[in-house]
Amino acid sequence: MYTRILVPLDGSALSEAILPHAQSLCRAATAELVLLHVMVDTAPEFGAPAAPALAPPAILKEKQAEMTAYLKSTCSKLEKSGSCVTYLLRSGGVAETILEVARFMKADMIAMSTHGRTGMLRLLLGSVAEHVVHDSPIPVVLLRPSES
pLDDT at 51 over 50: no
Confidence (pLDDT) at 50:
47
CB 32 within 8 A of CB 86: yes
CATH 3.40.50.620 describes domain 4-143: yes
Confidence (pLDDT) at 146:
72
> In which band, very low, low, confident or very high, does the pLDDT at 114 lie, cut at 50, 70 and 90?
confident
43 vs 24 pLDDT, higher one:
24
User: In residues, how long is the chain?
Assistant: 148
pLDDT at 1 over 90: no
- HEC-encoded secondary structure of 78-124: HHHCCCEEEEEEEEECHHHHHHHHHHHCCCCEEEEECCCCCHHHHHH
Global model pTM greater than 0.75: yes
